[in-house]
A and B are shown apart, each in its own frame.
Chain A
Amino acid sequence: MNLTLNIWRQANATAAGAMHRYELAGVSEDMSFLEMLDVLNEQLNANGEEPVAFDSDCREGICGMCGLMINGQAHGPEVTTTCQLHMRSFKDGDEITVEPWRADPFPVVKDLVVDRSAFDRMIQNGGFISANTGSAPDAHAAPVEKKLADLAFDVATCIGCGACVAACPNGSASLFLGAKITHLGSLPQGQPERDTRVVSMVGQHDAEGFGGCTNIGECAAACPKEIPLDVISRLNKDLRTAMAKGY
């Protein structure tokens, strides 16, 4: 198939960017979206134009490194990551607009590459269970109710791609935050730090400049791992509990 691509090009963090138009012929429907961009880049390189920079690593939907706004949807029209989106979701003659995640806490580094280190800092500020190596009791010392263990797993599947922020009209990272709060907060091991964790992670979230949540649900709809909105309610509940305890 033949496609017209409108792609955001921006030389670096401080340069002004603009949309550029490219024609690409001979795209196979078996290609992933990123392989289609690989082909474009080969073509650009051959023509003496610098290839489009975009992030990707595992290309099997688990590392969370890739993430593009495709025709106004985070990771494109399917519920999956950009790397697992295949060209069979498009048709011959389509015009596709490709933009980077847009959020001020995710500044553009170049073209379609953004800096998501704000997520790392949110994890640094409490997104863990303090358990020094070697200090752990036997793994069977504390049984965990299966329902809770399953819940913890379901929300721990978050890949930190940032699609929730990209899709949210408020630029909020509440889904990412809620997923971590729920993961750690539903396990017995996570209880001792539960109150301080939620307060410090929320504090970091706000300090990074993410917006507030208005519960409209665009994040959950864009999440390639289908993390539900429940986690934001749990986040709010944990904060409320912490507030009642004076944290």
Chain B
Amino acid sequence: MGTPDPSGTIPTNQPSVQKSDDAAGFYTLGAPLIDEKAPTGPINTRWQRRKFENRLVNPANRRKLDIIIVGTGLAGGAAAATLGEAGYNVKSFCYQDSPRRAHSIAAQGGINAAKNYKEDGDSVERLFYDTVKGGDYRSRESNVYRLAEVSANIIDQCVAQGVPFAREYGGLLDNRSFGGVQVSRTFYARGQTGQQLLIGAYQAMERQVAAGTVTQYTRHEMLEVIVADGRARGIVTRDMVTGAVETHLADVVVIASGGYGNVFFLSTNAMGSNVTAAWRAHRKGAYMANPCYTQIHPTCIPVTGDHQSKLTLMSESLRNDGRIWVPKNAEDCAKDPRDIPEEDRDYYLERIYPSFGNLVPRDIASRQAKNMCDEGRGVGPAVKEIQPDGTEQMVRRGVYLDFADAIARMGQKAVETKYGNLFDMYARITGENPYETPMRIYPAVHYVMGGLWVDYHLQTNITGLFCSGEANFSDHGANRLGASALMQGLADGYFVLPNTIREYLADGPFEKIDESHPAVVEAKAEVEERIAKFLSIQGERSADSFHKQLGQIMWEYCGMERTEEGLKTAIGLIRDLKKEFWTNLKVLGTADSLNQSLEKAGRTIDFIELGELMCIDALNRRESCGGHFRGESQTEDGEALRHDDEFAYVAAWEFGGEDANPILHKEDLIYTAIEMKQRSYK
């Protein structure tokens, strides 16, 4: 171990050696994994050198090369636009009715970039450092450095496209500080940054549709990847309107299908967000990395009843001025909060973390809210929670986020200017006026750091299958900083993938395969069989009811706090659920028409299988890091405790076969430019 080394050759840490084995019996240990594309040398030259080393594709050859991109969010849409501009023949797929609907659109806060327009000491190095630290030292330093490096280009690109970022009176771009970071590096477009960036990427992509380089397939769901002769050569899709199962062949396939937060049923993800594209690839051999890393956002609007279909996030900026509290006494919980005197309120974050108070990191704020509610001091309507053992209990799931002090201090007008749109949103959803009564908040699943394992080139372990954006695991480690999701999606789409995919395509065009190739025939047949199976079970329960039950299991046992016992219980429950799914599913309608129940069935079973793997991954990782908190690994004060000696590795899981144990491949995380430190927010 040593201090960071500018030559990038001397490691600051040793490979970890795992001593615990909580998941024994649930997995098989496979060979260690090495990223063969990992660059070496001084960290600040790695990407530049790699871009130079990666071979070029002759412009005349590009139109002969077919690229399939699944997903049209920031990562997929930006890649489609850029690769289309370069002259490749791109086919873009999305399940929505238009590429513009992709869930990147819902991101509110902003996008980080190391522009240092504020001259407040920001730099590529600092963004790199913050991101690795924020991810609790569970990401690759080369990837993160590259991300920080290209971040500035993203802003230039978006401005050129007409993205209306917030500006100052002088006409220059405005920045704000976000998520407890000490520099102002976040660019934003009011509370709708994701929307504006996505529309920018969408328009760039539509321009290529008009130019003929991109063909867009909307209302198409990818249901299988075609791997022929060791290479990903295409996908099988279902046209969601006609039900036609189609095969699409290409030289390379990119999965940019977003995250799988909906494994919890309730999350801030869109209703249609799903894991199917990534999970089908996983079943075909692609490794799934760190699936247990889940980011839970503390400031969401609480659940109101069992009809709830999704959760709505409110910007974390609310914690800058709002104070979080619960009643000291459980018997006060049903009272009007305004009738609870000051001395009977417990401002628990200010009490436990005096120096950070209400601004503690997301995971701490989330976990403490859960603890308060578990103690019976939650507020708001009591909602029915079905325990996995079948018993029901009524629990109040909410804590107050109170602006009374802020209104007294700043005046209602100032609060309105700063947070008006969020207050309006809250009022619309809850029917309560947050200027008069404190808001109620509760954590919700927001983002997943895990995803398909990729190398430095964003290529999965299946040759020719790339993965970008939230769907891959690569850049955020165990936790993602605020305003970094948009940065990663666009970095991958505009700047990284186009520069790495050419190295792969320089060997193409690959030998043409046609519809009669055995791999194509087989993949298509598998999809058709599966669809027929869903329709033939004719049981009693809707896909949604299975999905909801899975969500309850995951939230209870693989949510904010995970324990060995709980995870083992969850694995058992999920396996039972899976069995019941295949015997008691009820899907009405036909395969040859728009059938939303059928779509849900396919997504739900993939979520069930993923849920099991997430629990196994969480069970194996007996440490607390970022978005993964193991009850067994905490300090005396209840703080997360990392075990770098055991777990400084990427857990890449190989599909072991139907009902067989998954195989764990470990990729060691070795740092040269940064030193691992334990965080403290006390």
A touches B in complex, CB < 8 A? yes
Q: Is B400 an interface residue (CB 8 A)?
A: no
Given contacts A64-B100, A110-B593, is CB(A140)–CB(B172) below 8 Å?
yes
A166 to B185, CA, bound (A): 41
Given contacts A38-B544, A58-B106, A149-B167, is CB(A131)–CB(B172) below 8 Å?
no
| A50 & B207 in contact (Cβ 8 Å cutoff) | no
CB closest chain-B residue, reference A158: B199
Given contacts A42-B544, A120-B206, is CB(A153)–CB(B593) below 8 Å?
no
Q: Is A94 an interface residue (CB 8 A)?
A: no
A27 to B155, CA, bound (A): 46
Residues of B within 8 A of A46 (CB): 542
B126-174 residues with Cβ-Cβ distance < 8 A to A are 153, 155-162, 164-173
Question: Interface majority SS on A: helix, strand, loop or mixed?
Answer: loop
| A38 & B596 in contact (Cβ 8 Å cutoff) | no
Contact partner, A65, options B101, B199, B209, B425, Cβ 8 Å: B101
Contact partner, B164, options A55, A110, A149, Cβ 8 Å: A149
Residues of A within 8 A of B170 (CB): 143
Closest Cβ–Cβ distance, residue A141 to chain B (whole Å): 8
| A139 & B307 in contact (Cβ 8 Å cutoff) | no
Contact partner, A133, options B82, B115, B596, Cβ 8 Å: B82
| A131 & B97 in contact (Cβ 8 Å cutoff) | no
| B85 & A133 in contact (Cβ 8 Å cutoff) | yes
A63 to B106, CA, bound (A): 7
| A131 & B542 in contact (Cβ 8 Å cutoff) | no
A12 to B495, CA, bound (A): 42
Contact partner, B310, options A59, A64, A116, A189, Cβ 8 Å: A59
A11 to B592, CA, bound (A): 11
Q: Is A229 an interface residue (CB 8 A)?
A: no
B375-405 residues with Cβ-Cβ distance < 8 A to A are 381
Q: Is B204 an interface residue (CB 8 A)?
A: yes
A46 to B586, CA, bound (A): 9
B156-212 residues with Cβ-Cβ distance < 8 A to A are 156-162, 164-173, 189-190, 192, 194-196, 199, 202-204, 206-207, 209-210
A129 to B203, CA, bound (A): 8
Closest Cβ–Cβ distance, residue A32 to chain B (whole Å): 7
Closest Cβ–Cβ distance, residue A109 to chain B (whole Å): 6
A170 to B387, CA, bound (A): 54
| A109 & B241 in contact (Cβ 8 Å cutoff) | yes
B530-551 residues with Cβ-Cβ distance < 8 A to A are 542, 544-545
- A-contact 0/1 string along B219-256, CB 8 Å cutoff: 00000000000000000000001000000000000000
- Of the candidate stretches A68-76, A80-88, A213-221, A238-246, the one touching chain B is A80-88
Q: Is B498 an interface residue (CB 8 A)?
A: yes
A132 to B86, CA, bound (A): 9
| A132 & B85 in contact (Cβ 8 Å cutoff) | yes
| B99 & A120 in contact (Cβ 8 Å cutoff) | yes
Residues of B within 8 A of A127 (CB): 203, 206
Residues of A within 8 A of B168 (CB): 146
Closest Cβ–Cβ distance, residue B231 to chain A (whole Å): 26
Given contacts A129-B161, A145-B171, is CB(A51)–CB(B271) below 8 Å?
no
Counting contact residues on chain B (CB < 8 A from A), the size range is 35 or more
A59 to B428, CA, bound (A): 13
| B105 & A50 in contact (Cβ 8 Å cutoff) | no
Interface Cβ pair total, 8 Å cutoff: 220
Q: Is A123 an interface residue (CB 8 A)?
A: yes
Q: Is B61 an interface residue (CB 8 A)?
A: no
Identify the interface centre among A63, A84, A88: most chain B CB within 10 Å of its CB: A63
Residues of A within 8 A of B596 (CB): 51, 53
Residues of B within 8 A of A84 (CB): 428-429
A123 to B210, CA, bound (A): 9
Residues of B within 8 A of A28 (CB): 304-305, 307
A30 to B428, CA, bound (A): 10
A61 to B313, CA, bound (A): 12
Residues of B within 8 A of A58 (CB): 101, 103, 105-106, 270-271
Residues of B within 8 A of A156 (CB): 164, 189, 196, 199
A16 to B666, CA, bound (A): 58
| B310 & A60 in contact (Cβ 8 Å cutoff) | yes
Q: Is B589 an interface residue (CB 8 A)?
A: yes
Contact partner, A80, options B100, B105, B203, B428, Cβ 8 Å: B428
Q: Is A57 an interface residue (CB 8 A)?
A: yes
Q: Is B588 an interface residue (CB 8 A)?
A: yes
CB closest chain-B residue, reference A52: B596
| A133 & B307 in contact (Cβ 8 Å cutoff) | no
Identify the interface centre among A28, A132, A137: most chain B CB within 10 Å of its CB: A132
CB closest chain-A residue, reference B195: A62
Q: Is A210 an interface residue (CB 8 A)?
A: no
| A42 & B105 in contact (Cβ 8 Å cutoff) | no
A150-201 residues with Cβ-Cβ distance < 8 A to B are 150, 152-153, 156-157, 159-160, 183-184, 187, 189-190
- With A86-B429, A189-B160 given, name 20 new contacts (CB 8 A): A28-B305, A31-B304, A31-B307, A35-B307, A50-B597, A57-B96, A84-B428, A109-B241, A113-B594, A115-B97, A116-B98, A124-B210, A136-B159, A136-B160, A139-B156, A139-B159, A140-B172, A143-B172, A183-B164, A187-B164
Give the top 6 A-B pairs by smallest Cβ distance, nearest first: A143-B171, A136-B160, A128-B203, A131-B160, A153-B164, A30-B304
26 contacts between A and B (CB under 8 A): A32-B309, A39-B307, A50-B589, A53-B595, A53-B596, A58-B101, A58-B105, A58-B271, A60-B310, A63-B101, A64-B101, A65-B96, A86-B428, A115-B97, A117-B97, A120-B98, A127-B206, A131-B157, A133-B494, A134-B495, A137-B160, A143-B167, A152-B162, A156-B196, A183-B164, A189-B162
